[in-house]
Amino acid sequence: MTGRSVKPDAGNAEEAAAAEAVDMLAAADKKAADNLELAIRIQADFDNYRKRVQRENEEYRKYAAESIISEMLGIVDDLERALSHADKDSDLAIGVNGIRNNLMRLLASKGVSEIPTERFDPNIHEALCTEPGDTDGGITEVFMKGYRIGDRVLRYAKVKVTRKQTEEGEQKCQGS
């Protein structure tokens, strides 16, 4: 032997330490990537939650006054009945009509609109009577106007609907 001291395990120890450091670094990188993915997922979940709550709040605000508005529709009906029995040129009729118009503008500003009554649609109309006619589904009389707020029906329009002539040929009304 020459006098040199050879450390056979020293190189292996350094390689083992380096391999262990690489493994630890890879594990740390994987954990960091997992944590980043988790943080992104949590952020997305939170954003979805925030948007859902915002939508629900908007929906709640939109329909919060629905019961009060429904009650106000009865007042509109009373004003219209009063106008139908009053002399159109009287001061009283002019005043009542002004009140009705102001109330209708207020309701319109809250998204309330009258349901159209050109053609019968069971989604927005309630047929109280039928009468013979040339076509099915024509509306010949409106007993009570219907209203909606946005796409939601507050009150269905109560109407008389035409039906093609049947063998019976008689008018059919609820309660008759």
Q: Does residue 101 share a domain with residue 48?
A: no
Q: Does residue 72 share a domain with residue 55?
A: no
Provide the residue range defining the domain that includes 168. Answer: 114-176
The pTM score is 0.60
For 35, the 3-state DSSP assignment is: helix
Q: Does residue 135 share a domain with residue 173?
A: yes
Q: Does residue 143 share a domain with residue 101?
A: no
Structural domain contains residue 165 = yes
Chain-wide mean pLDDT for the chain? Answer: 86
Confidence of residue 136 (pLDDT cuts 50, 70, 90): confident
Number of domains in the chain: 3
Q: Does residue 94 share a domain with residue 79?
A: yes
Give the DSSP letter of residue 123: T
- C-alpha dihedral, 21 to 26 to 30 to 31, nearest 10°: 0
Tell me the C-alpha to C-alpha distance, in Å, between residue 79 and each of 72, 76, 102, 120, 146.
11, 5, 12, 26, 15
Confidence (pLDDT) at 173: 62
Structural domain contains residue 119 = yes
Confidence (pLDDT) at 64: 76
Residue 2 has pLDDT above 70, yes or no: no
DSSP string covering 98-156: HHHHHHHHHHHHTTEEEPP-SB--TTTEEEEEEEEESSTTBEEEEEE--EEETTEEEEP
